[in-house]
Amino acid sequence: MSEAEMTDGFHLVVEALKLNGIDTIYGVAGIPITDLLRLAQAEGIRYFGFRHEQSAGNAAAISGFLTQKPGVCMTVSAPGFLNGMVALANATTNCFPMILISGSSDRAIVDLEQGDYEELDQMNAAKPYAKAAYRINRPQDIGTGIARAIRAASSGRPGGVYLDLTAEVLGSALDIGTAKNSLVKVVDPAPPQPPAPEAVARAIDLLATAQRPLAILGKGAAYARADAEIRSFVETTGMPFLPMSMAKGLLPDDHPQSAAAARSYAIGNADVVMLAGARLNWLLSHGRPPLWSEGTRFVQVDISPTEIDSNRAIAAPVVGDIKSAFAAFNRTLKPGRIGRQAAWIDEIGKRKQQNIERMAARLNADPSPMNFSSALRAVRNALTAHPDVYIVNEGANTLDFARNVIDMSLPRHRLDSGTWGVMGVGMGYAVGAAAVTGKPVVAIVGDSAFGFSGMEIETICRYELPVTTVVFNNNGIYRGDPPDKPYSPTGLLRDARYDRIIEAFGGAGHHATDTPNLTRVVSEAIASGKPALVNAVIDPTAGTESGHIQSLNPRSAAAQKT
Residues within the interface to ligand ADP (CB under 6 A): 94-95, 157, 218-220, 223-224, 244, 246-247, 277-279, 281, 283, 302-304, 307, 321-322, 419
Q: Which is nearer to Mg ion, 387 or 482 (CB)?
A: 482
Q: Which does 277 bind (CB under 5 to 8 A by kind): ligand ADP, Mg ion, none?
A: ligand ADP
Nearer to Mg ion, 324 or 475 (CB): 475
Minimum gap (Å) between residue 492 Cβ and Mg ion: 7
Shortest distance in whole angstroms from residue 289 CB to ligand ADP? 19
Burial tier of 315 (Cβ tally within 10 Å: 0-12, 13-18, 19+): middle
Closest by CA to 398, choosing from 371, 429, 380, 420, is 371
Would you call the peptide bond into 290 cis, given omega within 30 degrees of 0 as the criterion? Answer: yes
**C-alpha–C-alpha distance, residues 500 and 506, integer Å:** 10
246, interface contact from ligand ADP, Mg ion, none, CB < 5-8 Å by kind: ligand ADP
Give the shortest CB-447-to-Mg ion separation in angstroms. 4
- The residue among 159 and 446 lying less far from Mg ion, judged by its C-beta, is 446
Identify which of residues 240 and 543 has a Cβ nearer to Mg ion in the complex: 543
Report, in Å, the least distance between residue 227 CB and ligand ADP: 12
Query: Residue number with the shortest CB distance to ligand ADP?
Result: 220
Which option in Mg ion, ligand ADP, none does residue 474 bind, with CB closer than 5 to 8 A by kind?
Mg ion
What is the spatial distance between Cα 192 and Cα 436, in angstroms, rounded to a whole number?
24
Question: Is the torsion defined by CA of 172, 174, 178, 183 positive or negative?
Answer: positive
Q: 447 contacts which partner out of ligand ADP, Mg ion, none, CB within 5 to 8 A by kind?
A: Mg ion
**DSSP-derived secondary structure for 492-513:** --TT--THHHHHHTT-EEEEE-
Q: How far is the CB of 397 from Mg ion (least distance, A)?
A: 7
| Peptide bond just before 317 cis, omega within 30 deg | no
Q: Judge contact between 291 and 264, C-beta under 8 A.
A: yes
Region 442-481 residues binding Mg ion, contact defined as CB under 5 A: 446-448, 474
> In the 3-class helix/strand/coil scheme, how is 370-390 assigned residue by residue?
ECHHHHHHHHHHHHCCCCCCE
Query: For Mg ion, which is the closer residue by CB, 148 or 479?
Result: 479
For residues 161 and 542, which CB has a smaller minimum distance to ligand ADP in the complex?
Answer: 161
Least Å from the CB of residue 304 to ligand ADP: 4
Beta bridge partners of 273: 214, 298
CA distance 489 to 476: 9
- CB contact at 8 A, 24 and 70: no
Of 302 and 447, which CB lies nearer to ligand ADP in the complex structure? 302
Question: Is 393 one of the binding residues for Mg ion (CB under 5 A)?
Answer: no
| Residue 485: CB atoms within 10 Å | 8
Give the binding-site size for Mg ion (rule: CB under 5 A).
4
Using CB under 5 A as the criterion, which residues of the chain lie in contact with Mg ion when the complex forms? 446-448, 474
